[in-house]
Chains A and B, each alone.
Chain A
């Protein structure tokens, strides 16, 4: 089977940095993606890691350690509009589907 664990809620101050962790147990692991979802909205792709290391896209970075079955999403210079749910999602080799975690609700406060 598969399992993904991420914190259910995180609160951070505007302008600060926040890290959202994701641990997974997946056979045939291929890569880890991160999606953002605002209330009532669609999941929006943020980042993907297929190899160990850091991927940077503007204020967002994502990290993967395959040996530790662990990844994180780093959001810098937080803005109020970053308040949303963030999902890690695993892709397995030879599979088309994404398996999502339960999501982390990020609240950015002034």
Chain B
């Protein structure tokens, strides 16, 4: 069964450092997303990406964040200068359609710990 894969599963970084979280979406999907979940809280939308550009972003997704699809398979989330409050589980997701209620497939997540 196709799946979304994320690496690393866990990353610890010092405050102020840059981190890149990596994702390989399902191969025939066209829409890609990043969500985050602070421990014990709800899943929050960060950004969606379609046709090599950001299609929508939330207030959380400020100038510290950026996304890229560098090679046609990987989809990355970069946080330029991490803050303590960036500590969370980051989920990548993909779907075959974006505008309808079709299933979004989530990866297993990267747990980011900023110290």
Count A interface residues, CB 8 Å: 27
**How far apart sit A44 and B105, CA to CA, in the bound complex (Å)?**
7
Q: Are B109 and A100 in contact (CB under 8 A)?
A: no
**What size tier do the contact residues of chain B reach?**
20 to 34
Q: A43-B91, A48-B101, A91-B101 are in contact. Are A96 and B42 (CB under 8 A)?
A: no
* Shortest Cβ distance from B4 into A: residue: A42
* Shortest Cβ distance from A103 into B: residue: B42
> Is B58 an interface residue, CB under 8 A from the partner?
yes
> Is A102 an interface residue, CB under 8 A from the partner?
yes
Q: Are B105 and A45 in contact (CB under 8 A)?
A: yes
> Is B31 an interface residue, CB under 8 A from the partner?
yes
Q: Which of B14-22, B44-52, B69-77 contacts A (4 or more CB under 8 A)?
A: B44-52
* Shortest Cβ distance from A43 into B: residue: B106
**How far apart sit A87 and B106, CA to CA, in the bound complex (Å)?**
14
**How far apart sit A87 and B37, CA to CA, in the bound complex (Å)?**
13
Across the A-B interface, the 10 shortest Cβ-Cβ residue pairs: A31-B101, A96-B48, A97-B45, A42-B106, A45-B103, A100-B43, A48-B101, A102-B42, A96-B56, A96-B98
Chain A residues in contact with chain B, CB under 8 A? 30-33, 35, 37, 41-45, 48-50, 87, 89, 91, 94-103
Chain B residues in contact with chain A, CB under 8 A? 31, 33, 35, 41-45, 48, 50, 55-56, 58, 91, 98-109
